[in-house]
Structure 1
């Protein structure tokens, strides 16, 4: 197999896996590709009892180029087995890449709907799978939609959400109307091959809000995902107040911004929005999410944890991109979404440390040390109080990643506080991203349940169901865990576990 001559391909292909496996910053209980580049989760589903995770993959190097569909399977959402590449570019509409898409069940036939890239155009394509989803045959009709809607000046056009509604298929394609905002174009089909354009489901307004803000909706919507939260299914009248949810990732001229979601009502051929919400306070560090219902009726979501280090550092390391831990999506009492890691992850827990209930004051060394950890805390904060949980600390103060939870000083009921990730001292490497990440957290009575999963360079935080995901790159190899507080903070419970690896060595670029 010949080596690449791509400008970024400075690591010989034969060394990629060894280089990636040797990197101490590479997560060990999150899914990562064998080496090279990983981005969006695709085709996430449970089929005949087996979970399938497809993903955007470049096995040729840690950069975005000539994207294929990697594939992994699991029986428990925890340990994953690499499968052969599902899709790779071929002569035709996907000659320059098989971009993001979904898996649907077409009367028992596994079918992928994805964006094929040729030059600067991305168009919907279809591939049909074998019963075990191990081999795929592209439809001769590709592309199944020949062009974006006529007469519309679009910013981009790609990524798919496909569902069965009655006796018809419906599809959303992410896009944007130039001069207006992001959108999702709605189509309808009887056979997944011949599609009729219905119209824009809903068009955002990019002129609203601050383009630098964490809730700006962008000029294009990537990776749209429409589903009913709570009870009922899309297109039916809800028996209660369960909203429909339109998830999208805000994009602007090549800049991946953040995931957002509208709650509202999908009815007929349109979506009537009620409220806009941030999906994850980490912004681009939880990007392009995709969800599915498993056999137990749980809505499970994956997202792409982008890197926060330079292109050169990624290429040198031989890998880029981490898949989030699978998280369960439920409807909160206030009509927003609540998230939690799937409980199956608890089987990775090893050595356990707990602390007795106490009032917190000065910095407390918890006695916990490691860079693969699962931490659970229950705390009560008085008005004006702040809890600080330090992880990945070097022990001498040189490096420390701090999760802060604060309650407003004038808040008598404790209805809403702030979750913040302070990365200003996360790394002595000045080239990595250390931008502040934060967002609001409901905390009636000042109570917070905090769950923190640390996996080398990946950190996923859940505070009363609100997630904040980010990347950190410690250089000192430390793993100290500390607690401190300002004001009156009562620690009701503290439990910490080391977390096991989910794979050994010996992976190959092409399973």
Structure 2
């Protein structure tokens, strides 16, 4: 991404007139995913469940659909479904360590004081900064000690930003995402008594960028963005987003053991098969004991289309993360999303024969939640088709397949015909699909205009699609080999916002 470091400090009166209204009219704008009122959105930040309220902060530019002079937007919810826009939390300073942007970070509870730890950007440097909030988390004061870490711990780094902060044995600990040139991505560990005076401990874990290439789907990159360390059912997880010289690749996670000042990994895994379409994830543990995760769904259309639309970037639906029987993370949309379901269509059980294609009567739209249970015989595959036009010229295909010789299956998204716009990204996405001996697939597909999130047996795949035809609304199912559809339920999903929203709440 490019960054304009010469823009003046943004003010509410500087917001372009009609930007939010233009964004609201865009047919590709999701309606039940969270989006900013207009302008630019990227990483989820400061995710927390505080006094019964979910707080979602996010990287925000209210002046344009471009990654310039990043602020912290803020939204709240009591159910992870319906959101209220709150006042912008952080604005770049007129001078000082965050003159050119308030970049990603976290919210922590410092003895009852809500405290943000974030990366302030000044010129080409990003350094840790702190801001404290009012009891209702609606107003924030930057600390005069900023930056609270004066410089990276060494000179041979690729970048130094994004934070994971927690309390352990009476002290604060912090990870800062980084990378060591000629070696690989890393997470630098720090320790503090007061969130202001930090002692460098050392790298928690360092990857090997020399293993594999950027074309591989599990290459760990030259820098780790948005590191997130948490424990789930006795397993420690270190999640990060692989970055390389300005290119955002995909989120990965290590499973292993965090002990003392190190993380000992036992496996590296893909967090979402959508690659950059689910990036910079951040998680929190809520009052129900759940691990709740959000990610940034990047755009798949060109900059001119984004500028014309007046908005850019979507927050993923909130996901509940658990530990699967295979020791990997399993993900599912939070159950609260069912509150948006309207007009159910239930098909009951049926069989799709080899080579057949069935359009599903009564199931169509661009705001849908579809759940189906499929049973695949060895060598069979099922293809759920969404956003299909009447003539079939536009269609998006979600395929699940079972190999003839046993073992894991494949989840694959085909976007070659998703849009007649030649500038829209159409590359496929795919990943391993765990199967039991009966070949059962629990598949859930959420379609929200240009946002698409797929969950299959605990694996997730997020992407973006941009149909051009107004009639690209049909849903169908196809098969190679006989496929038993044990159930297929679909709902139209209600929107969570009504009309344009103020760019500066």
Q: When the two structures are superposed, what TM-score results if normalisation uses the length of structure 1?
A: 0.95
Q: CA deviation at 1:81?
A: 0.4
Q: CA deviation at 1:182?
A: 0.1
Q: CA deviation at 1:14?
A: 0.6
- CA spacing shift, 1:12–1:95, aligned 2, 3 Å: closer
Pair 1:13-2:16 in alignment = yes
Which of residues 398, 402, 412 is equivalent to 1:420? 412
Which shows bigger deviation, 30-39 or 208-217? 208-217
Correspondences of 1:50-449 after superposition (within 5 Å): 50-90=53-93, 91-150=95-154, 152-230=155-233, 242-361=234-353, 362-367=356-361, 368-411=363-406, 415-444=407-436, 445-449=438-442
Distance 1:164 1:311 in 2: 41
Distance 1:265 1:453 in 2: 34
**Structure 2 equivalent of residue 482 of structure 1:** 476
The answer to whether the 8 Å contact 2:21/2:500 transfers is no
Distance 1:106 1:448 in 2: 44
Distance 1:287 1:65 in 2: 18
- Report Cα offsets for 1:94-139 as digits up to 9, x if no partner: 0000000000000111000000000000000000000000000011
**Structure 1 segments unaligned to the other structure (5+ residues):** 231-241
The answer to whether the 8 Å contact 2:421/2:468 transfers is yes
Q: CA deviation at 1:243?
A: 1.5
SS at match of 1:424: coil
Q: CA deviation at 1:427?
A: 0.1
Distance 2:390 2:479 in 1: 18
Q: CA deviation at 1:509?
A: 0.6
The answer to whether the 8 Å contact 2:24/2:500 transfers is no
**Structure 1 equivalent of residue 10 of structure 2:** none
Task: Count matched residues.
Answer: 491
Distance 2:499 2:410 in 1: 40
**Structure 2 segments unaligned to the other structure (5+ residues):** 1-5, 8-13
Q: CA deviation at 1:12?
A: 7.9
Q: When the two structures are superposed, what TM-score results if normalisation uses the length of structure 2?
A: 0.96
CA-atom RMSD in angstroms: 1.5
- Report Cα offsets for 1:67-112 as digits up to 9, x if no partner: 0000000010001000100000112100000000000000111000
Pair 1:35-2:38 in alignment = yes
Distance 2:257 2:398 in 1: 35
Distance 1:133 1:12 in 2: 24
Distance 1:108 1:299 in 2: 22
- Report Cα offsets for 1:377-427 as digits up to 9, x if no partner: 00100001010000001121110000000000111xxx4100000000000
**Structure 1 equivalent of residue 502 of structure 2:** 508
SS at match of 1:14: coil
**Structure 2 equivalent of residue 239 of structure 1:** none
Distance 2:343 2:391 in 1: 24
SS at match of 1:85: coil
Q: CA deviation at 1:211?
A: 1.7
Which shows bigger deviation, 251-260 or 348-357? 348-357
- CA spacing shift, 1:12–1:129, aligned 2, 3 Å: closer
**Structure 2 equivalent of residue 459 of structure 1:** 452
Pair 1:498-2:492 in alignment = yes
Distance 1:72 1:453 in 2: 22
SS at match of 2:89: strand
